[in-house]
Amino acid sequence: MPFLVTGRRRYGRAFALIPALFLCSLSMAQGLIDQVRATERLRETQIVEARSLDSTCISVEEWSTDGGAAVGYFKPDGKLSIAFCWLHGETGKRFRSFHFADDELAYSILLDSRYNRPYYWDEAERKENNDTEVFDPAKTTTTSTAYFFENGAPLCWEAVNGTSVEEDMIAGSDTSLLSQAVSLRSMLLDARKNGEADCAYLDWRKELREMPDRCGMTLPDTALANVALEDASSAIAVLGSIPSNGLVEDNTDFPHVGFRSSDGSQYMTFFIYYGDGPDNYAAMRLSRTRPTNVRDTLPSVNFRSGNSVTLGMSKADVIAKLGKCYSIYYGERGHELLSYSIKDHVRSDFLRRYNMPSYFAILEFELDKLTDYRFGFDYP
């Protein structure tokens, strides 16, 4: 099938990354955690906002053998927020999303569905070709590949569930995917000028719901230096009560307070989310990098998580503590990320107990030594 190569909390089901292999090309390895997390937040926000945005539909018949369609969602200022594209062929279909930030591609995911036989392969075709099977929709296999960009330049790509590395997937790390995004954006903008079309028949949410299954973390970390997530009493016992004017807030992160180790080599940062009570920290960070706000010094021995994760540990040692259900990102100069998550609020007793939508843990290694660890709940 030829395709174009190219109150308290509010929560709902989040659309998140599938455990995968990430290959990254980064000019700055440190801070990769923040880059990936920022892209994830952008994507999830745009998915929710799409419900209230105007949409425009177009045909992209020339992009595949059996035709295709696309829909774009536009912000009130006229800029394209997300576009979704369907391409159909005799032996499968492809669905792709394009997420834009300031008119630059930030994220794209490809769902590649392969049929066991061409969709017209009935009993007559089977017999004529001396085959053993007919077309069976239940035997369709779907793989998922995601691409990350920063300022319009390739950042990382992920291959999921045994996805093979094909030419059009490699295109995600060069200009081909960017060219496809630019072309689609231009066509949608032109169509919008000529009037909006009915897009109700293009159900992209169904495509996202039916993405290949992802596994959830089974050994979540819930404390740092004996400060437990969402537990003010433990925070006050270790850190003291921090007044609101003792927290720092900037354009890139939530209100937070930091502490240094007695030997000056490590830092802990505790984050409070909007709407939470005083000293209820929803996310935590252990790092070699100095945070914006350092309030005090704590004994170095305290700088470990509830699951006994400490800086300097190897990747294998961390996996032994947190489990084998993770994504892995490869960066430059010996930098790697491990990423864990729990996303299914309906089935997770852990998430329901905390009344939170999802949980994450993401760790950065340099030459197989842990240098940065951030974990906690996603902001509702």
Query: Is residue 316 within 8 Å of residue 323, measured between CB atoms?
Result: no
Highest-scoring range by mean pLDDT, 92-96, 153-157, 333-337, 340-344: 92-96
Structure tokens that stand for 307 in this block: 């699951």
For the ranges 16-20, 233-237, 306-310, 374-378, the lowest mean pLDDT is seen at 16-20
- pLDDT above 90 (res 287): yes
pLDDT computed for residue 303 by the predictor: 96
pLDDT computed for residue 12 by the predictor: 31
Between the alpha carbon of residue 159 and those of residues 34, 208, 297, the distances in Å are 21, 16, 42
Residue 38's nearest CA partner among 378, 358, 380 is: 378
Contact partners, residue 206, CB within 8 Å, separation at least 6 = none
Return d(Cα 211, Cα 246) in angstroms, integer: 43
What is the share, in percent, of the chain residues with pLDDT greater than 70? 83
Averaged pLDDT for residues 269-291: 94
- pLDDT above 60 (res 30): no
Structure tokens that stand for 194 in this block: 């000529």
- pLDDT above 80 (res 199): no
Please, which pLDDT band fits residue 35 given cuts at 50, 70 and 90?
confident
Write out the DSSP string of 341-362: EE--TTT-HHHHHHT-S-EEEE
Return d(Cα 256, Cα 114) in angstroms, integer: 47
Contact partners, residue 310, CB within 8 Å, separation at least 6 = 286, 303, 304, 370
Q: What is the pLDDT of residues 118-163, one digit of tens each?
A: 999 999 999 999 999 999 999 999 888 778 888 877 777 765 543 4
pLDDT computed for residue 330 by the predictor: 63
Return d(Cα 96, Cα 104) in angstroms, integer: 16
Return d(Cα 19, Cα 214) in angstroms, integer: 6
pLDDT computed for residue 166 by the predictor: 42
Predicted TM-score (pTM) of this structure: 0.71
Q: Which residue has the higher pLDDT, 323 or 147?
A: 323
Residue 44's nearest CA partner among 97, 104, 111 is: 97
- pLDDT above 70 (res 107): yes
DSSP-derived secondary structure letter, 208: H
Residue 286, strand partner residues: 268, 373
pLDDT computed for residue 198 by the predictor: 64
Write out the DSSP string of 229-285: TT-HHHHHHHH-PPPGGG-EEETTEEEEEEEEETTSS-EEEEE--TTPPTT--SEEE
Please, which pLDDT band fits residue 85 given cuts at 50, 70 and 90?
very high
pLDDT computed for residue 131 by the predictor: 94
Residue 24's nearest CA partner among 272, 333, 376 is: 333
- pLDDT above 90 (res 71): yes
Q: Which ranges in the chain belong to alpha helices (H)?
A: 32-49, 123-128, 167-170, 175-193, 204-209, 232-239, 315-322, 349-354
Highest-scoring range by mean pLDDT, 59-63, 215-219, 365-369: 365-369
Residue 111, strand partner residues: 95, 144
